[in-house]
Structure 1
């Protein structure tokens, strides 16, 4: 039986579980340290051999043992397969273990010479203590160097600023010690006295540098290291400021052992292979440390002007401020660039465009033209509302890339804001501008893939030519803006400014404002056109058609305002109003015993909304209606342009019980494969096939074939635009399921339809009686 190897075959960056024996060693170490600290807190008459001798030494050497066990594991590496190991190279672990050992040797020698006549200063104990600083600083240098490898210049400068600022603050606190040591005559003792505070300065500076570098050390391991070093440095400062008050066995000894215990835990965890999670993405400390350090340096300089502080503190504070100002020169240049750059697309922004265009226009020789193109994406607001602003932002980025790739290097492209872009074509007149506009529209016509969804985008462009239609950027922009809205309203794609566009622009803006008010003031109303079952002659449902009851222009049909609704991004609001009113009317009809279905047209922009099925389901459920009462009519354009999205949306609607119909069937030019792939219930045969059916045998054959195709796929066929009895009878003969049109009834308000339904019932009774 093969002995299991739990770590064999692990990925190279896998976290190796903590061995049980290592956890026991940490518990033993923690227990000894705790016993020693508690013993120090118990008041006694003086030196306690058990606490200050035995417990102090056994706990200190337990720390050493744990450190060297970690160093052994780090040097031994990770097992990557039978008989193979991979070293992961952590020299800071070895250096830190040696540092803790040196400090413990110093403690041991000091304890040995305690109470003897051999106590001197400096002594071998000082050598151990100073060696601790040197070795641990070397460990930190290795750690910081690895953290800053590949870092940006700003991160490195932040680390330097943090180190200098922390050192300047500590230098102020140690001013009495530094001044006293400097006042003594040169000797070994003086050198050692100065070495302690200087090494503390370096230790604290290293800690601040590590925090500012915010490298891969993170989490509990990070807290252990920083906390241990800060406590150690703090204990040193207290000792340096009052050395005569210190004797072995005081609570101050507890701070050193606690600090070393935390450092040992860091060493222990650093000796374990860990997941290569990569560089930290930053933290609050990464920003706070340089900021606090700059304020500290400034504070030290201000303090030095009021009270005496050590010259070292002043030098360190001055260096902090000097290094902090290094990036300012570069940042000023960056700020100038950023103020002229769109932060999303990286293109010049409105400020840059308005600043650069005058110079380019002025550089043209007499007789030479340039053209300004103003471009606005069609129905972009629907993308933001339905898919989220993050998807909309990514679409704008891709649009910017495509536009830039279709222009010359001499042309100026800018994003003015939102979904609006501007282009200045150098040395281009009317014909060149029209050619470029068509080229840009073709580039944007290619599908965009965002969030797994294929989006089709289009743009409307207004063109103004310099100097014929304006001599400055303001007038050119105004006229290009009016031309752009003319292109939107006519769906021509692009339009070159003409003098009569001024009045059109005013009318459009006024109508847009009135339309927004109409939606808010409930000026939209619904008309209903009945659909008749051709087999029985019964009215089975109605199609819902929206009308705008304009206060001055009267009742407006959809063709007079729906395009403007799309342009203004109001289609979601309009759809919500139509569905609400239609479903409320269905509730009233059911209360009257009229079990009519309602069919509502949905635009392609409405069907981009991911939440639409959920909202419709909630609206139907809150009214206690069966989902089959609602039929949603969609266009072939939506089904063919984005098959995957259509399948998702329609499948979710069908799962609710809502019926799906294809409006204007037969007017598309693409494959009919969607009839097989998508969840559809009925087809609505466009009136362009029904009108000529009476006099055109080929048209009649197409209608008959379309009805047979629908039935063979299990679909119902509804004929639109039935205006005479001959067409009606032909459709009955072909087996068409339902029909609607002026022969049956025009679209009328609900009140008129109620009267019409009542009259129809009376007529049916009279005929039945006769």
Structure 2
């Protein structure tokens, strides 16, 4: 701080201290003189207590760094007040000013300027306050005004006793100004509140002391009991000094905003609002027993009306808070409790691990993503709603069913051990196995359930959720529907997570390879087609077959990526064979989740074009499951694939849905008869009859028939005699790498025209 700044600070301090000492001296003087007037006290000390605060305020105007308009208004108000006091000061023993006079104008301007300053002072701090806060303000202000209207009624009645004149107007204006000022102060306290160190307390206290002195003075004048030079006169001086002290301090710092105030100050504001309401009611009750002015009754009625409006707003806020609390603990889609509700209730229930038992079941819908992808997210939402309703029907009293998110649900069974949890899990699996109706499509769903027990498997919800999650993935991997958490499951789950990470790495590091199994044309024995089957060349576990990883690929959402990898490898090999003069069609067997990808036809077309491959070099083998789940979607995707020359084969024919109408409606080139029909047909006449009729069905529809799983010469010869188009199986060749297949083909010396399949 520089010398000049230090000097200004010293001047400020001296002036403020002088103002305070003068106010204290004046208080001591009026007490000392005992009601007798003395010029040194009633004139000079009195005037110094009026003018020194004005000087302090003008000094604040010159030094103000914030709230300059408010400080200027305060300085003007204090100056007009000092002028009024000076005009009324007993400068001579026979001085008796008329009424009204210029001094009254100074007092009126003081009131008006202070009211404007209060409005500006609070406006910035309360901007954006809620309606309830403003209603609290109205209640507080009106209640204070109603009480003052009762107290000041004698003054008002006396002023209005004579004929109407300027003197009457000024006489009435004084009590009204006191009412306005006190109402404004009360409203500020209600709206803004206070906190420790808030300088606004100084201003509020100063205004209240000044108004209190005014009220007592008016009542004494009305009863002709006022005496100059009593402690009452000192209340004005102290009030003015406190106002000036606030103005001086606020000019040098930013005043705290209401948003910075702690919550307890709002509670204090509510208390003041409640007291104001009681005051208004008290005035109305008083009016039934004694005379109360019309102004007081009107103000009290307005107070009660504002309080009623505030109560209505509070009631709506309570309802809204209750609704928000309900929403915070409810799932917006299914209406079931949500994860937050589970934590709240489980924490309350699991307080006594000795006497209470609970089972936590974690449920995850199988292949829910396929419903979203094939039928749309709205259909998926409707499925979740139906699932929630169906699960709710299985609840017992005291059980808690929640939706955790996505297609995951949790069920907290009250008083249940392993036996009860197993029975409930089986019942839930059976309930969800029944088909759901979505957009006239029968959707078959299934659920995987894992459960953990309290307190045996854990003493808190987080532990139970983790272990139930582990058990749920165990159930999903095994296909058993449900699984109880066991000690070794953590190790299995960790291995599963590690395998998923390895799968992600394998997709980008060339660890997947294809083995090819030829399809033999009957009866000639030449080869036009091969089926590609994916293998994982694991860096530490060796060559893994699809049953070791495809389920994890599906669950981890990696099927689309794996499909692209397989297609790239298969088409690259087809291009190599084509360059070598081997006209082979490669068949790739796609899962239902891959076939619902609407981008697949365009991506396949781009792959074929990039390799300059002719139409017919690629064939897709798909299952009946996809065709029956969404006929319209299947027709669209298969038609688009056919436009790009891709052939369509139905894999595992005969093991899916009984309806054959899709054979008529969809663009299908080939049927692959499942091995379960081929293997027994040599020794089973009925099996042979089924194979023969299926071959006839395919030919009658203009389709080729391929028999897979041919593992004996007898089955091969039987297929030839029945007119089957192609045979595939270990009897001819196992799936082998491309190089080994080339050796096998060279040894046979029979490579034909384009047509061939690929599978994983």
- How high is the TM-score relative to the length of structure 2? 0.54
Shift, 1:601, TM fit: 0.7
1:348 to 337, 341, 344: 337
Give the alignment of 1:656-671 within 5 angstroms.
656-668=644-656, 670-671=658-659
Give yes or no for contact 1:448–1:454 (8 Å, CA) kept in 2: yes
Structure 2 Cα separation of the partners of residues 576 and 400 of structure 1:
36
Structure 1: state its 5+ residue gaps.
1-156, 165-184, 188-314, 765-770
Q: Name 2:622's counterpart in structure 1.
A: 634
For the residues of structure 2 that align with 1:654 and 1:762, how far apart are their CA atoms?
28
Task: Check if 1:579 corresponds to 2:567.
Answer: yes
Within 5 A, what are the aligned runs for 1:224-243? none
- What is aligned with 1:361? 350
Partner deviation per Cα, 1:330-383 (whole Å, 9 max, x = no partner) = 5544444443333443332223212211322347883x6322100112233444
Q: Which residue of 1 aligns with 2:642?
A: 654
Q: Residue 540 and residue 475 in structure 1: after superposition, are their counterparts in 2 closer, same or farther (change >3 A)?
A: same
The 5 Å alignment of 1:204-283 reads none
**Aligned partner of 2:672 among 663, 678, 684:** 684
Q: CA deviation at 1:548?
A: 0.7
Distance 1:358 1:711 in 2: 66
Is 2:623–2:650's contact at 8 Å kept on the other side of the alignment?
yes
CA shift in 2, pair 1:696/1:384, >3 Å = closer
Question: Residue in 2 aligned with 1:487?
Answer: 475
2:739 to 751, 758, 761: 751
Contact 1:447–1:455 (Cα < 8 Å) also in 2: yes
2:449 to 456, 461, 464: 461
Contact 1:531/1:539, CA 8 A, preserved across alignment: yes
**Is 2:515 aligned against 1:522?**
no
Aligned residues: 458
- Does the CA-based 8 Å contact 1:387-1:609 persist in structure 2? no
The whole-number CA distance in structure 2 between the counterparts of 1:186 and 1:612 is 95
Give the conservation status (yes or no) of the 8 Å contact 2:365–2:445: yes
Aligned to 2:582: 594
1:697 to 672, 682, 685: 685
Q: Does the CA-based 8 Å contact 1:425-1:433 persist in structure 2? A: yes
Partner Cα separation in structure 2 for residue 642 and residue 575 of structure 1: 21
For residue 423 of structure 1, what is the aligned residue in structure 2? 411
In the alignment, is the contact (CA less than 8 A) between 2:528 and 2:751 conserved in 1? Answer: no
Query: Following the alignment from structure 1 to structure 2, what is the Cα–Cα distance between the partners of residues 520 and 708?
Result: 45
Q: From the superposition, tell whether residues 453 and 521 of structure 1 become closer, same or farther in structure 2 (CA, over 3 Å).
A: farther
- Aligned to 1:410, the other structure's residue is in SS state coil
1:108-507 matches, cutoff 5 A: 331-362=320-351, 366=355, 369-384=357-372, 391-448=379-436, 455-507=443-495
8 A Cα contact 1:386 1:611, kept in partner:
no
Aligned to 2:542: 554
Note closer, same or farther for the CA distance 1:515–1:330 as it changes in structure 2 (3 Å cut): same
Q: Is the 8 A contact 1:599 1:631 kept in 2?
A: yes
Q: Judging changes above 3 Å, is the alpha-carbon distance between structure 1 residues 469 and 592 closer, same or farther for their aligned structure 2 residues? A: same
- Take 2:636 and 2:482, find their aligned partners in 1: how far apart are those partners? 34
Residues 683 and 710, structure 1, Cα contact 8 Å, conserved in 2: yes
Matches within 5 A, 1:720-731: 720-731=708-719
Deviation at 1:160, TM superposition (A): 14
8 Å CA contact 2:360–2:412 kept in 1: the answer is: yes
Q: Is the 8 A contact 1:710 1:717 kept in 2?
A: yes
Distance 1:582 1:422, change over 3 A: same
TM-score (normalised: structure 1)? 0.54
Name the Cα RMSD after superposition: 3.6
Query: Is the Cα–Cα contact under 8 Å of residues 516 and 533 in structure 2 kept in the other structure?
Result: yes
Asked if structure 2 preserves the Cα contact closer than 8 Å seen for 1:687 and 1:720, the reply is: yes
Q: For the Cα contact (< 8 Å) 2:470–2:489, is it kept in 1? A: yes
Task: Please state how far the C-alpha of 1:597 moved relative to its aligned partner.
Answer: 0.9
Give the Cα separation in 1 of the matches to 2:621 and 2:471: 33
Following superposition, the deviation at residue 536 of structure 1 comes to 2.2
Determine the structure 1 residue equivalent to 2:726.
738
2: distance between equivalents of 1:405 and 1:363? 29
Note if contact 1:662-1:680 (Cα within 8 Å) is conserved in structure 2: yes
In structure 2, the CA distance between the partners of 1:733 and 1:447, relative to structure 1 (3 Å rule), is same
How big is each residue's C-alpha offset from its partner over 1:728-756, in whole Å with a ceiling of 9 and x where there is no partner? 22211111101111222211222222233
Q: 2:552 aligns with which of 564, 581, 597?
A: 564
In 2, Cα distance between equivalents of 1:345 and 1:570: 29
2-structure distance, mates of 1:733, 1:186 = 130
Rounded to whole Å, the distance in 2 between the matches of 1:450 and 1:560 is 34
Residue range with higher mean Cα deviation, 622-631 or 723-732 = 622-631
CA offsets per residue over residues 684-708 of structure 1, 9 Å max, x none?
1222222223333333333223222
Instruction: Give the match's secondary structure for 2:572.
Output: helix
